[in-house]
Amino acid sequence: MANISKPKRRQLNYSDADHLNKSRLGVLGGSGLYNLDGLENIQELKIVTPFGDPSDTLQLGTLGGMEVVFLARHGRDHTFIPTEIPYRANIWALRSLGVRWIVSPSAVGSLQEQIRPLDIVIPDQFIDRTHQRPLTFFTDGAVAHVTMADPFCKSLSRLIADIGESLMPEGRQLHIGGTYLAMEGPAFSTRAESNLYRSWGCSVIGMTNHTEARLAREAEIAYASLSMATDYDCWHDNHADVSVEMVVENLRANALLATKIIKAIAKRIAYTRPKSPAHEALKDGLMTAKEKVPVSTRHRINLFTSPYWGDFKLHETNYLKD
């Protein structure tokens, strides 16, 4: 059993986050995954960011020889609906702790017959149907345009797929590629919506990953999804409509497998430290000249822009509190 320390103060060091050989793996736990079994030497870190408080304290520990930062996106007591999740604070906090890869285990509904409940999908595309989310760090006098043609990191997704295939239990399949339909929630789809998304060729439906992926790209973090099917949404005539009970039962079955896969991923990343185009996403994306950016905005986004604009110190401070 890992020892969990009290929340402690930690001095931020921007330069550490910019070297892959010192960087950490982030895990954003979704519904049913509120702690990461096997995480050792855990420190509980409370972080206040320029974008507010994250969903919960962050757990920094080691897993498979890799330093890993775990955060429950809905909070460990599942107190945030998808719209209320503080996405910007979560991603900023992870980046401030040197995270340069994020694996996102998430509950999804299947929109295709061949993707059965308890199967896993490693999607490669999104369609966004959310409408109440902050989708960028760059506002208030600073503009950046990052490429999202391939919203998931290809190298990280490929690594997850290779590992996942070797660990899938008999009777369950891992599907490589597919489109994740991001909906607002928190209610599940209507039958008409579900069939519309099927007609678009979407593979799975969820409520969180698209927002995270866009912000992670701006934060120059490689992001990939471990989309774990819990149900057939409501389109399938021969299966019961999606319900909380059905989802929760399958979430329990998925949690053990997700943890096993994440541990193997951590071991592999500790050895390979895969480079991603996402790690330089802002290189050609910053549009506003730095001298034109308001001081308060420059300070807020310094974590991301310092490799290109130089470190900006409004005053000696950090965003950690006791």
Which domains does the chain possess?
Answer: 24-309 (3.40.50.1580)
Which amino acids are annotated catalytic? 231, 233
- In the predicted structure, residue 253 carries a pLDDT above the cut 90: no
State residue 271 phi and psi, 5-degree precision: -90, -40
**Can you tell me the mean pLDDT for 109-122?**
95
Q: Which residue has the higher pLDDT, 247 or 318?
A: 247
What's the rounded mean pLDDT across residues 297-314?
93
Structure tokens at 54: 């994250």
pLDDT at residue 2 in the model: 42
* Longest Cα separation, the chain: 62
CB 203 within 8 Å of CB 178: yes
Asked if 146 contacts 285 with a C-beta cutoff of 8 angstroms, the reply is yes
Does the pLDDT of residue 130 top 50, yes or no?
Answer: yes
Of the chain, the percentage scoring pLDDT greater than 90 comes to 81
pLDDT at 293: 96
Secondary element (H or E) of residue 244: helix 244-272
Q: What is the mean pLDDT of residues 80-97?
A: 98
Rounded Cα–Cα distance for residues 7 and 266 (Å): 24
pLDDT bucket at 318, cuts 50 / 70 / 90: very low
Residue 239 has a pLDDT of: 62
pLDDT at residue number 313 = 79
Give the pLDDT of residue 87: 98
Bridge-based pairing state of the strands 24-29 and 58-63: unpaired
Strands 222-231 and 99-110: parallel
The whole-number average pLDDT for the span 82-94 is 98
Length of the chain: 322
3-state SS class at 56? coil
Q: CA-to-CA distance for 301 and 220, rounded, in angstroms?
A: 12
Q: For residue 242, is pLDDT > 70?
A: no
